Chain A
């Protein structure tokens, strides 16, 4: 069964450093998403991406965040200058039309 994959599983970085989180969506899916989950809190929407552009973004997704689909298979989330409050689980998801399928997540720890 096809699944969304994410790398790395855990990323530790220093405050102010740039990080890139990587995702490989399900191959025939057209919509791609990033969500995050701060420990003990709700899963929160960050951004959706379709046809090589951002469809929608939340207030969390400020100028420090960017997304890219650099080739036909990868989908990345970049945080330019990490803050302590960026520490969270980051989930990538993809969908064909209906039904979003999530990856296992990347745990980002900002020290």
Chain B
């Protein structure tokens, strides 16, 4: 069945260091991969996404990479700041099914120490 695995479950870095979160997906039909940031008491916030026709996408300090052959995608945060501390979720979906459901990973709790 459809599944997304996410690692690590927790990640602690020093302010200014980089953080990398990795996900793998099982459904070959998946072609859209968003990343969400969830702060305590709030809903998931879409921070960046990538489609399968693109290998990499960058937005300021965050970037996503996609290896469709290996069914891997990753989130990279550079120059981390304490306000980056949150739970990050990867997800996968098929855009062929308009309005398609998101299959989420388990989440990574990122802690950025000042």
A interface residue numbers (CB < 8 A to B): 4, 6, 30-31, 33, 35, 41-45, 48, 50, 55-56, 58, 91, 95, 97-105
Contact = CB atoms under 8 A, between A and B. Distances in A.
Interface string B76-114: 000000000000010100010111111111110000000
B46 A101 contact: yes
Interface residues of B, number: 24
Contacts of A6: 43
B43 A48 contact: no
Contact of A43 (B41, B45, B97, B104): B104
Nearest to B51: A98
B106 A100 contact: no
B99 A48 contact: yes
A4 B44 CA distance: 11
Nearest to A95: B99
Given A42-B107, A99-B34, A48 B46 contact: no
B49 A33 contact: no
Nearest to B2: A45
Given A42-B105, A50-B99, A104 B49 contact: no
A98 B95 contact: yes
- Which of A33, A42, A95, A103 has most chain B Cβ within 10 Å? A42
Interface in B40-75: 41-46, 49
A104 B99 contact: no
A42 B101 contact: no
Given A33-B101, A56-B100, A102-B36, A42 B43 contact: no
Contacts of B105: 42
A6 B45 CA distance: 15
A99 B49 contact: yes
